[in-house]
Structure 1
């Protein structure tokens, strides 16, 4: 068996066990725990992108409001 398949089986055996133990502790279904982790990963990735777009918009807006003047006589 190749090393990649061994690694895959290791993570399937022990990695999914974390969500099943957490579900047993909380008394809810394992599918709900896994879905929660998937949604949280999308939210955190989207949140960073949203902050980036907001900051880019503010910088663009600041540049539009404050025009750069080349001399004092441009007032």
Structure 2
């Protein structure tokens, strides 16, 4: 059951932790733990940052897909 929950969040999450982990060469698990612990300490501010970063990354990926489609012609 726990594995299904973890798989669900990894598949349908925004990919913010993965992007930050690859960008700064840090373990993804450490970044996830940082977001979890800091959200308890900072009363949810990191969650707001996480959702904002997720929206920005989705828009960025959408724009990249549109650019490649325009140049394929």
Q: So what's the TM-score if we normalise by structure 2?
A: 0.42
Higher relative contact order, chain-length normalized (CA < 8 Å, sep 6+): 2
Q: Which protein shows a greater Rg? A: 1
Q: So what's the TM-score if we normalise by structure 1?
A: 0.41
